[in-house]
Structure 1
Amino acid sequence: MAYQLKEINDRILADTPAFLAECDAAYQKRVEEAADKIIARLDTSPIVLLSGPSGSGKTTTALKIEEELERRGMNSHTISLDNYFKTLDPKTAPRTPEGDLDFESPECLDMELLDETFTRLSNGDQVIIPKFEFTRQMRNDARGRPLKLEKNEIAIFEGIHALGPGIAGPHPEATKLYISARSNVLEGDALRFKGTWMRLTRRAVRDYNFRGTDVSSTLAMWANVRRGEKLYISPYKNTADIIVDSSLPYEVSVMKHYALPILKAVPQENQRRAELLDLIAAFDWFESIDPALVAKNSLLREFIGGGSYHYK
C-alpha cells in the first residue's frame, strides 16, 4: 500500500480536520477487524501475540485492540514482553558484531518463563507477570503482578519478538498480529517518503521528548535496530493471522513540526548525515498540519505526547 502525496496535500488544504478524522477512522477499522479475528479464535487460544518493529505503534495498537475487545464484552490485559527480559550477565549476554550488548536479540528474553506463562494462562491457572526495571537493568520479581484468565478474558503480549520461533513457535494456537508503518508516500511513481523514515521519525521524536535521548544517539542505535528487525522480526511477519498497517497519511505533515528542529541540530560530522539530509528535504514536499488538530486518541500521540492513553 502507498499513499499519494498530491492527495494528501489536497486534502490538507481543502479540510484538514475532516482529513485527519477520515485517516483515524480508517485505522480504527483495522483495529476493529483485528478484534473480530481475535474473538473468532478465542476458543482456540486466549493468548494474543503482537509483534512489530521499532516505531510501529505496537503499544497504542494493543491498547486500542484492548478497548475494542472490552466494548464487545471481553476483558483483556496488555502485557509488554519487555518485562520478560532476563537480568543479563555481561559475560554471557548476546553481543552485536561491534561487541556491544545486543538488546535487540531474543536471547535477552526468558523464553522458558514465557512458555510456562502461556501454557498456564491457557489452562486457567494463575501466573505472576514479572516487572523489569530498566533503570537498574534487572528483573524485580517482587514487583510482579498476578494474572488469571477467566472465561472470555484475553491476554495480549506485545513486543518485537512476539512472533519469533522462541515465543510463537511452541504456541502455534495463539492469535498472531504484526503491526508496522508499511506505507510509502509517492508522487506518481516517485518515492517521496519511505515507510522506514516514518518509523525512524516516530522513534527520534519520542526518544527526544520522553526518553532524554538526542537524535545522534537514536541514529547510532538505528543501524542495530534495523539489523535486529531483519534477523528477528521481518522473517516471521507472514506467519501472522492479522497484519495491521499503522501508518497515517497525515503524520508526516504533523511530524515536521517536531522532527525538523531536532534533525537539523544533528552535527554535520555525523556519519549518517547524508541520509539525514535526504530525510530533512523530504518533509518539504508536505503541507503542514497544526499538531493541536491531532485527536487525543490518535496513534501519533504515542510519539508526540498529549494523548489520552497511559503508557507504562
Structure 2
Amino acid sequence: MPYQLNEINDKLRKDPVAFLAECDAHYQQRINTAVDAILARMKDSPIVLLSGPSGSGKTTTALKLEQELERRGVNTHTISMDNYFKTLNRKTAPRTPEGDIDYESPRLLDMDLLDETFTKLSRGEWVVVPKFEFARQMRNDSRGSLLKLDQNEIAIFEGIHALNDDIAGRHPEATTLYISARSNILEGETLRFKGTWMRLARRAVRDFNFRGTDLGETLSMWYNVRRGEKAYISPFKGRAKIVIDSSLRYEVSVFANYAAPLRQAVDLVLPENARYRELHDLVSAFAYFEPVDPALVASDSLIREFIGGGSYRY
C-alpha cells in the first residue's frame, strides 16, 4: 500500500518524534504478526528461512523476530547465510555477462552443507555453523560454532537466496519469509519515490559509512544488483509463507540528509549505465521531503542498520 507524501511532511512538521514512534510501532506490529505465523508452524519445522533483496533490512528484521520470539519464551538463533559461502575459486566462479565474478549468484553458496544443516537441526543433532572471512574470501570452518536445537528452539537463517530451489526447495516444511521495502510514496496519484529507491538509499549510506565503499561505486553497481535480484531472488518470492514490508514512512526524510553526497556520487556515474536516469531521478526526489534529524531515529529502528548508532549488534 503506497504512502502519501503530504501526510508524511505534515506529520514531520507537527511532531516528528511522535511520527517516528508511530511508524516504528507499525513495523513492530508486522514483526508480531510474522511471529504469530512462525509459532503456528513450529510443529512443522524449527527452521525459519528469511529472504529479501539487498537493502531490505533482513538482518535487523531477523534480530527483531528473534527478540520477539525470545520474549514469548522461544529460544532463537539467528544465522547469516553469508557464512555458507564457498571459498572463492576465481577459475570456477560464476560470471556476469560482462565477465566479472557474479557475487549475486547462488552458486557461491554451499547448498549441500545448508541442506545437511537443516536436516540435522530438525532431528535435534549437532552441527557446526561455519565462519566466512570476507577479507580473505574464504570459509574458515575452524572458527565455526556448534549449534543444536532442543525443544522450543528455532533457528532463523537469513540471506538473499534463502527461498532458492536448492535451499527452501529442498525443505518445504520450513517456515519461509520474504522481506522488502514494498511501498511507493505518492503525491496524490503522482509517484515521488519508489520502494526500490529506499533500498538503494539504505545500501549507499550503509556502504559509505561502514564498509568503506565509495558512493559512486555503490550506485554504479546498482544495475548488476538489480539484475541479480531479478534472476536469483524475485523468481522465488512466491515461496514465502509470510511477506513483510520493511519500508518506513519517515525513512526518505532521514536519508534526505545524505542527498548532497549522493548527488555528487550520481554525477560520477557514467551515462551508459543502464540505471543512469533512475539514479538522477532518485536524488532529485529528496527535494520533495521534509528532512528529519537522524538523531531522532530510535536506537532499535530498522533504519539504524544503515545509518548507524543502533542498539543491535551486527
The two structures share one fold, judged by TM-score above 0.5: yes
Counterparts of 1:276 and 1:124, CA distance in 2: 48
Residue type of the alignment partner of 1:276: L
Name the residue aligned to 1:63. Answer: 63
Superposition TM-score, scaled by structure 2 size: 0.97
Deviation at 1:168, TM superposition (A): 0.3
SS at match of 1:169: helix
Counterparts of 2:75 and 2:260, CA distance in 1: 41
Name the residue aligned to 1:275. Answer: 278
- Return 91-100 or 62-71, whichever deviates more: 91-100
Counterparts of 1:309 and 1:221, CA distance in 2: 28
Whether the aligned pair in 2 keeps the contact of 1:216 and 1:270 (CA below 8 Å) is no
Deviation at 1:133, TM superposition (A): 0.2
Write out the 4+ residue segments of structure 1 that deviate beyond 2 Å after TM superposition: 258-277
In structure 1, the gaps of 5 or more residues are none
Whether the aligned pair in 2 keeps the contact of 1:215 and 1:263 (CA below 8 Å) is no
SS at match of 2:197: helix
Residue type of the alignment partner of 1:285: Y
Superposition TM-score, scaled by structure 1 size: 0.97
1:30-80: per-residue Cα shift (whole Å, max 9, x none)? Answer: 001111111110010000000000000000000000000000000000000
SS at match of 1:191: strand
Residue type of the alignment partner of 2:298: A
Residue type of the alignment partner of 1:159: G
Name the residue aligned to 2:3. Answer: 3
Whether the aligned pair in 2 keeps the contact of 1:3 and 1:186 (CA below 8 Å) is yes
Counterparts of 2:296 and 2:131, CA distance in 1: 36
| Residue 232 of structure 2 corresponds to residue 232 of structure 1 | yes
- Return 34-43 or 265-274, whichever deviates more: 265-274
Counterparts of 1:247 and 1:254, CA distance in 2: 13
Describe how 1:45-194 pairs up with structure 2 within 5 A.
45-194=45-194
Q: What's the C-alpha RMSD, in Å, of the aligned pairs?
A: 1.1
Residue type of the alignment partner of 1:82: D
Counterparts of 1:239 and 1:259, CA distance in 2: 36
Whether the aligned pair in 2 keeps the contact of 1:179 and 1:245 (CA below 8 Å) is yes
Deviation at 1:276, TM superposition (A): 2.7
In structure 2, the gaps of 5 or more residues are none
Counterparts of 1:249 and 1:73, CA distance in 2: 31
Whether the aligned pair in 1 keeps the contact of 2:129 and 2:147 (CA below 8 Å) is yes
Whether the aligned pair in 2 keeps the contact of 1:56 and 1:199 (CA below 8 Å) is yes
| Residue 276 of structure 2 corresponds to residue 305 of structure 1 | no
Residue type of the alignment partner of 1:40: A
SS at match of 2:161: coil
Describe how 1:249-268 pairs up with structure 2 within 5 A.
249-268=249-268
Deviation at 1:212, TM superposition (A): 0.3
- Return 262-271 or 229-238, whichever deviates more: 262-271
SS at match of 1:277: helix
Deviation at 1:269, TM superposition (A): 5.8
Residue type of the alignment partner of 2:143: R
Residue type of the alignment partner of 2:116: E
- Percent identical among aligned pairs is 70
